[in-house]
Amino acid sequence: MSMEEQDILRSAVIEFAEKNIANSAVAIERTGITDDLAVSLAAQGFLGAALPTEVGGAGIDRQGYAVILKELASYSPSVSVLVLITGSIAGRLLEKKADSLLGRIATGEESFAVSLWPATDGSGSAGELKISGNKIRGTRRYVIGRPGGCLVAVTDDGKLVLVKSGFSLSDEDHHLSFRGLKYSVASIDSAHYEVISSNGAETMERILSGMDLEISAIALGIARGALAKTVDYTKVRKTFEKPLKDYSTVANNISRLMSELSVAEIALQGSGEMNETEMLMLKVHATDLAKRATKYSLQYHGGYGYIEDFGVEKFYRDAVGLTILLENQAADGMRLSKEVFGEKSGYL
């Protein structure tokens, strides 16, 4: 996508977000993404942006998709991750299995939920999920996405399954990040399922590691959202009779972070020329920047930053959660080291 096209798309996303998200970003964190918002995202083409046109998606390229994810994340990281789950994760998990299903997901007719847990953690705390006879039974925790449609999860013996009905989702409480997605526990007892892959954990891992650019975009959106609020706040908030922005520590820290962010955004805009290694490098930089930017943002908002009404603390939580829920930092470290050294490195 050309720079001009990216700019047009960016304006469209911002216009949408100003109208549909800006005033409800705090409510999204408290009570979840509403069906109305999901329908609006679908109608605007964002929900199925990354899905192919043959199944009803917008078939947008990764640069354009990154624009959508980043701009949405600057208002509500939860909304951005919903688009990621529906577009990238559903699209990649289901690409060879269920075109009509993907089409319904793209238009918002069908919702999609996924338990990412086994892809990045081997602790066994995800619950038990087994196939026995013609049925799949058990539970999966940390299900994210919207209820009411289909569910993808990995069984205890490593199969990646698509459960089309016969499961319910109950809310888990108050998790660290992306609270708008309302994490659930899936209770499954179904004969209506399909095995997508016999090596589920690897498939999930591959999908996650193939989203470096998308995760970069969300991280940069989080940093942009937090820093934009901080710039506005430090202009008007006074201490010792001077605006906060007049103090060199505040101004320089925010300005340096803004510089880092702008450089990364330029890289993201030109990501059409990037190879996989460069995308990984951008992700490592972007996720680290998001954590630092949100930490300063909260700090400079003082007590107000600590309460959800100001919309800053969510960025702080989400920046950290992003690197745990949607990234395998240990695996990324190994991938990066291998690229840098040209051989397996950094494993001891």
Partner 1 sequence: MDFEFPEDIVKAREKAAEFARKEISSNKALMYDREEKFPEELKKKAFEYGIVDYTNPWSMLVTIEELCRADPGMGIAATVSLFGAEVIMLFGNDSQKTKYLGAVQNGEMMMGLAVTEPGGGSDVAGIKTTARKEGNRYIINGSKMFITNGTMADFFVMLVRTSNPEDGKRHHGLSTFIVPGNLPGFSRTKITGKLGVRATNTAELVLNNVEVPAENLIGEEGKGFYYIMTFFNISRAYVAAQAIGIAQGALDRVLGYLSELQSKGASSTITEEIQMTASDIATRIEASRLLTYKAASYLFQFRPNPTITSMSKAYAAETAVFATEKALEITGYSGINGDLERFFRDAKIMEIWEGTSEIEKLIIWRNLIKEAQGGN
Q: Report the half-sphere exposure of 105 (CA within 13 A, side-chain side).
A: 37
Q: Of 269 and 337, which has the nearer Cβ to partner 1?
A: 337
Amino acid at 94: L
Among 255, 302, 331, 341, binds partner 1 (CB under 8 A): 302
With beta carbons less than 8 A apart as the criterion, state whether 186 and 143 touch.
yes
Burial label for 190, CB within 10 Å (0-12, 13-18, 19+), is middle
Q: Of 55 and 254, which has the nearer Cβ to partner 1?
A: 254
Q: Of 192 and 237, which has the nearer Cβ to partner 1?
A: 237
How far does Cα 76 stand from its chain's mean position? 10
Q: Of 195 and 334, which has the nearer Cβ to partner 1?
A: 334
Name the strand (E) or helix (H) holding 155.
Answer: none
Residue partners of 132: CB distance under 8 A and separation at least 6: none
Over the window 14 to 53, marking each residue x when it contacts partner 1 by CB under 8 A and - when it does not, the resulting string is ----------------x-----------------------
Q: Of 177 and 184, which has the nearer Cβ to partner 1?
A: 177
- Taking CB under 8 A as the rule, does residue 236 contact partner 1? no
Among 117, 167, 193, 233, binds partner 1 (CB under 8 A): 117
Backbone angles phi, psi at 134, to 5 degrees: -100, 15
Please tell me whether residue 331 adopts helix, strand or coil conformation: helix
Cα–Cα distance measured from residue 141 to residue 157, given in angstroms and rounded to the nearest whole number: 16
Stretch that binds partner 1, among 149-157, 174-182, 196-204, 227-235 (CB under 8 A): 174-182
- Taking CB under 8 A as the rule, does residue 130 contact partner 1? no
Name the strand (E) or helix (H) holding 157.
Answer: none
Among 174, 342, 343, 344, binds partner 1 (CB under 8 A): 174
State the pairing for strand pair 184-190/135-145.
antiparallel
Q: Of 54 and 121, which has the nearer Cβ to partner 1?
A: 121
Q: State the nearest-atom distance from the C-beta of 93 to partner 1, in Å.
A: 19
Cα–Cα distance measured from residue 192 to residue 215, given in angstroms and rounded to the nearest whole number: 32
Q: Dmax over Cα atoms in the chain, in whole Å?
A: 73
- Taking CB under 8 A as the rule, does residue 292 contact partner 1? no
Among 96, 123, 273, 343, binds partner 1 (CB under 8 A): 123
The binding site for partner 1 (CB under 8 A) comprises: 30, 117, 120-121, 123, 125, 141-142, 173-177, 238-241, 249, 291, 295, 298-299, 302-303, 305-309, 313, 316-317, 320-321, 323-325, 329-330, 333, 346-348
